Amino acid sequence: MSEQGKGSASASAAAPPAAAAAAAGSDTYKGWLFKWTNYLKGYQRRWFVLSNGLLSYYRTQAEMAHTCRGTINLATAHIDTEDACNIVLSSSGRTYHLKASTEVERQRWITALELAKAKAIRMMNDQSDEEPASQSDRTEIQGTLKILVSKLDDLSTCNDLIAKHGAALQRSLSELEGLKVPVEGGEKIKAVNERATLFRITSNAMINACRDFLDLAETHSRRWQRALQYEREQRTHLEETIEQLAKQHNSLERAWRAAPTLSSSAPSAPADKKGSERPLKGEASDEDEDTEYFDAMEDSPAFITVTATDNTQHREAAAGIEPGTSALYNDVSGKELQPRRQRRTRVPDKPNYSLNLWSIMKNCIGKELSKIPMPVNFNEPLSMLQRLTEDLEYHELLDKAARCDSSLEQMCLVAAFSVSSYSTTIHRTAKPFNPLLGETYELDRLEEFGYRSLCEQVSHHPPAAAHHVISQRGWTLWQEITIASKFRGKYLSIMPLGAIHLQFHSSGNHYVWRKVTSTVHNIIVGKLWIDQSGDIEIVNHRTKETCQLKFSPYSYFSRDVPRKVTGVVADCVGQAHYILSGTWDEKIESAKIIQSSRGGSGSEGKQKTIYQTLPPKLLWKKYSPPENAENMYYFSALALTLNEPEDGVGVTDSRLRPDQRLMEDGRWDEANSEKQRLEEKQRAVRRRREAEASDALDEGMGKKK
């Protein structure tokens, strides 16, 4: 089914609530909506632009400069709603099924669409008689004008004839009056003469009025044609100008991303403290504003989704400095340091090699994936150790959490950090390289971001890695991760085993959580896509406070936003204080609970919980992907730098793996040969080590005897 149709399935892609905005007095409204595409892909995120009574959509905002995927004329469209978040547009025999991220966002779009439709209908009625739509219409109008001119000539001829015959009639009647006739006959002739005079005067007035009308119509017709032609030329000129500006804007944006930039330094410690106090003041002031009420939920505690108000304060709260930029910066003490090192922003484009996945995977059903020899065609040029390090993409969330005085607010930021690590996986369907036993990876960002990370592969079967990060900005993170994976034919399940620990130096708060299951779908047929599902429980072992996060799995029959994440932050006695909501690939928001109450029982017998909250605040928002990311394995800005060669790294560092380096350089055939050689060498070492252990055991047993 094409993008123009819709079935009864649900969404399969996520997006943040539409960043829709309309300037004051502007007729343009823009934002993200989900659009039904087909049964295989479900709902997909599209960028919609409402302008001049037309609703156009694009796959990305960048496509506005060159490719429009479709346009809906609202003047002839029927607008309807299905449920809390859905919008149905019917136009020209086609039906478009759209979905907003929240009910509030849906209502904003409905209002904008209804206003645009009403205006478009008025414009169509006003201009329907003015602008010919085609060459045939113009020919018809010209023919009508010719007929009108001909009729004007006929009226002029009739005017002359009436004047001529009227004058003759007048003379005849005058002659009759001069004849000697009875008095009664003379009076009748006089009455006829007066009536003839009135007839001549009335006829002349009518003909003059017709001539004036036709002259005026002809004059105005020429004026309207000139005005219409001028407007057409202006519209064409404006369209060309806008297209040129869009192309120039796109080129400038690419040039800006590619060129190194100098930005102002990060705020010093006193400024940070002041900034950390602002949300508290904002929350106090929100008590006086209109609060938001939410319906009862089936589960207890209830998980709800709230909508963020798009303002500068929220954007600044999640901003941070994006990796890969060149800037002057200050350390925690406020001393200005020298410019940071310029990191790379590109890797060689991924070659277009075709490979039959099913021909390899069909013999692997039910097996442990780490034990299956796979060609590099299924890999990305990063190792699993580097993928673990990529969890630090949004390390600034932990920097901000370290400055929090409230442990509950700190818990919200830790929860946002735990979700942010999945945002880089949305298009990353390739498999990282399995690390060799003893392989390490060190990422030193002390000068730039104040942290240093070290990973090591400590076990080969089962594969296990140890990861330790220490930050000069007040926190330490460590984890022991074992990856279990199973191929089930249609999908591949990846189950991280092990706990993640996070400790803040000043408060001593110690947080522990585990990761959810990742699933790669459409292994056999269709486009590969990733879903995250399961629950995360984050526990502060010092205060006993908890956060329950739920990653909702994708379902055809669910009306929820795809990739939805909801959560509740509770204190040590289980009382909820914050609601978390968002999607794991876009953003997370928190809303402070000011009142909660128990409702009736739901359909499954569970008691409902009703929360009254303040307006939500943005905790984390995903960075925009690098330019040309689709051709660079969909790497994030940090991922592009992870395999960059550096001096002084250990001999066991992942950057020095020859097969991984060959793959990054695009030499996949050589990379496959080198990968096979390294894996065979590791198997031989393991067999020798197992034999030595067996001999030592036998020797020990012999000595006992």
Average pLDDT for 70-83 = 82
- Burial per residue of 175-207, b for 16 or more beta-carbon CB atoms within 10 angstroms, e otherwise: ebeeeeeeeeeeeebeeebeebeeebeeeeeeb
Q: Which pair of tokens denotes residue 478?
A: 């460590």
pLDDT for residue 40? 79
* Cα–Cα distance, 552 to 305 (Å, whole number): 12
Q: Name the token pair of 333.
A: 């003490």
Quickly state the pLDDT bin for 318 (edges 50, 70, 90). Answer: very low
Predicted local distance difference test score (pLDDT) of residue 27: 66
Measured N-to-C along each axis, helices 135-178 and 183-258 cross at an angle, to the nearest 10 degrees, of: 160
What pLDDT score was predicted for residue 126? Answer: 64
Q: Is the pLDDT of residue 20 over 50?
A: no
Which positions ≥6 away from 557 have C-beta within 8 Å? 9, 10
Residue carrying structure tokens 């390739």: 430
Concatenating the DSSP letter of every residue in 689-703 gives: HHHHHHHHHHHHHHH
Mean pLDDT to the nearest integer, 165-180 = 71
DSSP-based three-state secondary structure for 438: coil
Instruction: Kindly report whether the peptide bond that precedes residue 462 is cis, defined as omega within 30 degrees of 0.
Output: yes
Beta strands in 3-151 (DSSP E): 29-38, 42-51, 54-58, 70-73, 78-80, 86-91, 94-99
pLDDT band at residue 535 using 50, 70 and 90 as cut-offs = very high
**Closest to 411 (Cα-Cα) out of 296, 248, 538:** 538
**Class of residue 133 by CB neighbours under 10 A (exposed 0-12, middle 13-18, buried 19+):** exposed
* Tokens matching residue 71: 């346009």
The pLDDT, as a whole number, for residue 108 is 86
Contact 642, 614 (CB under 8 A): no
3-state secondary structure string, 592-642?
A: EEEEEEEEEECCCCCEEEEEEECCCEEEEECCCCCCCHHHCCCCCCCHHHH
CA–CA gap between residue 179 and residue 188 (Å, rounded):
13
pLDDT value for 370: 53
Question: Of 430, 431, 479, which Cα lies nearest the Cα of 458?
Answer: 479
Tokens of 531: 């879903």
Output 267 or 483, whichever has higher pLDDT: 483
Question: Per-residue pLDDT for 304 more than 60?
Answer: no
Q: Does domain 28-127 have CATH number 2.30.29.30?
A: yes
Question: Model confidence over 362-406: pLDDT tens digits?
Answer: 555 555 555 556 777 778 999 999 999 999 999 999 999 999 999
Rounded Cα–Cα distance for residues 73 and 34 (Å): 19
Residue 431 has pLDDT above 80, yes or no: yes
Count Cβ atoms within 10 A of the Cβ of residue 212 and give its class: 0-12 exposed, 13-18 middle, 19 or more buried: exposed
Residue 342 confidence (pLDDT) above 90: no
pLDDT tens for 665-703 read 988 888 888 888 888 888 888 888 888 888 888 777 767
* The CATH fold of domain 141-178+188-250: Four Helix Bundle (Hemerythrin (Met), subunit A) (1.20.120)
pLDDT greater than 70 at residue 205: yes
Residue 641: predicted pLDDT: 93
* Per-residue confidence band for 213, with pLDDT thresholds at 50, 70 and 90: confident
Higher pLDDT, 591 or 524: 591
User: What's the pLDDT at 444?
Assistant: 93
Mean pLDDT of the chain: 76
Q: Which long-range contacts (CB under 8 A, 24 or more apart) does 53-57 make?
A: 53/116, 53/117, 53/119, 53/120, 53/123, 54/120, 55/89, 55/113, 55/116, 57/33
Instruction: Kindly report the pTM of this predicted structure.
Output: 0.53
The answer to whether 583 and 33 have CB atoms below 8 angstroms apart is: no
Residue 59, phi then psi, degrees to nearest 5: -70, -40
Select 357-598+610-651's CATH number: 2.40.30.10, 3.10.50.40, 3.40.50.10680, 2.40.160.120: 2.40.160.120
Most confident of 154-158, 558-562, 570-574, 597-601: 570-574
Identify the residue whose tokens are 């202006």.
234
- Report the C-alpha gap between 458 and 468 in whole angstroms: 13
Residues 6+ apart with CB under 8 A from 366: 486, 487, 488
Residue ranges of the domains in the chain?
28-127, 141-178+188-250, 357-598+610-651, 661-699
**Whole-number Å distance between alpha carbons of 398 and 395:** 5
Of 115, 109, 107, 123, whose CA–CA distance to 27 is shortest? 115
State in Å, rounded, how far the first CA of the chain is from the last one. 76
The pLDDT, as a whole number, for residue 5 is: 43
What is the Cα–Cα distance from 663 to 646, expressed in whole angstroms? 18
Task: Convert the pLDDT of each residue in 258-279 to its tens digit.
Answer: 775 444 444 443 334 333 333 3
